[in-house]
Amino acid sequence: MAQDAAATEQLESADPADVADVADPEAVSAGSDAYTPMAPTEGKGMPVAGGWDIQPQYSEDGEFAYGLHYGLIWVMAGISIFVLALLLYVIFRFRKGANPVPSKTSHNTLIEVIWTVVPALILLAIAIPSITLIARQYETPPKDAITIKAIGYQWYWGYAYPDNGDFEIVSNMLKEEDDPTRGDARARTDTDGPEQLAVDNRMVVPAGVPIRLQVTAADVIHSFAVPSLWFKMDGVPGRLNERIFQVDEPGVYYGQCSELCGARHGFMPIVVEALPMDQYNAWVLAQGGTIAGADEEGIEADPSLPPTQEPESAVEGAPGAGAAPVA
């Protein structure tokens, strides 16, 4: 009896306005605005006008590959200069005027052994870092890595988050303000990124942790490629390609579909936004998703709750709490 009275009292004490707020879809979508897309850094994770080098790398594999690339350039330059010097030497030293009676020598065992063994050793020296690079690119992601799936469509990308409540983000290229085909769609701004590379919804990932990136397609073959993250993998319908994907530091990284996939192939850019883990979790909640591994750690993440809730990691002193934002 007393219990019933208490329950009734509690119901009555709830402000009807508050109850309406939670159920109001407007209030929920307003909460989603808590995530503001990160502004790109000029020249970072994007091509630059007049650039001639590989884009600066923001993944460990990319840094390794960049080093190998420059190592190989020096090896190639050294060999080319050496061969050119030999050629110039024989052209001048053994020209008809300086050498009227040519030597009849046709064999020299020592020189033949040297010009066989030395190039073989050079190739072996190149093979070691080269095979290492291939192997590390296909290293199996750790068991607890977050799985993210990139799906190619004619002609846009979809990003699914199976470990975060299995929601999917649809990512379309943003058109220019004066584009007559834009319709009601939002126009590109500088905060979104360079022309023809900016998208409305980015692929948001946590920075500094290995991710299991699966690539597939729904219609024809596409290719998920982000040059500054040293990642390119075909998305084939009916197949699930998988590779480890890791972004060193927070930032915005641009790429494009790299498999000719039809009329609008050139208009399906990729934008990866890497965030610290706590901000990534906040973004996931804002999308109505759940925090990966929450079950094991006993964190309650209810997708039915409005996205205005504070993620556990944002609570000061919590295990996953990040550093305070710097103005």
Smallest distance, Å, CB 222 to Cu ion? 3
Interface with Cu ion (CB under 5 A), residue from 257, 272, 274, 285: 257
As a whole number of Å, the end-to-end CA separation of the chain is 55
Inter-residue contact 214 to 149 (CB < 8 Å): yes
Does position 150 interact with Cu ion (CB under 5 A)? The reply is: no
Inter-residue contact 152 to 225 (CB < 8 Å): no
Nearest CA to 318 among 278, 275, 274, 276?
278
Given the complex with Cu ion, which of 202 and 222 has the nearer CB atom? 222
84 contact partners, CB below 8 Å, separation of at least 6: none
Smallest distance, Å, CB 236 to Cu ion? 12
Does position 274 interact with Cu ion (CB under 5 A)? The reply is: no
Interface with Cu ion (CB under 5 A), residue from 173, 261, 284, 301: 261
Q: Which stretch binds Cu ion (CB under 5 A): 8-16, 112-120, 250-258, 291-299?
A: 250-258
Nearest CA to 193 among 169, 173, 207, 222?
173
Tokens of 144: 């607890």
Given the complex with Cu ion, which of 257 and 286 has the nearer CB atom? 257
Given the complex with Cu ion, which of 243 and 279 has the nearer CB atom? 243
Tokens of 268: 């399906």
Q: Which stretch binds Cu ion (CB under 5 A): 18-26, 51-59, 256-264, 271-279?
A: 256-264
Cα–Cα distance between 97 and 325 in angstroms, integer?
A: 78
Smallest distance, Å, CB 261 to Cu ion? 3
Instruction: Give, as ranges, the residues between 191 and 230 that touch Cu ion (CB under 5 A).
Output: 222
Positions that interact with Cu ion (CB under 5 A):
222, 257, 261
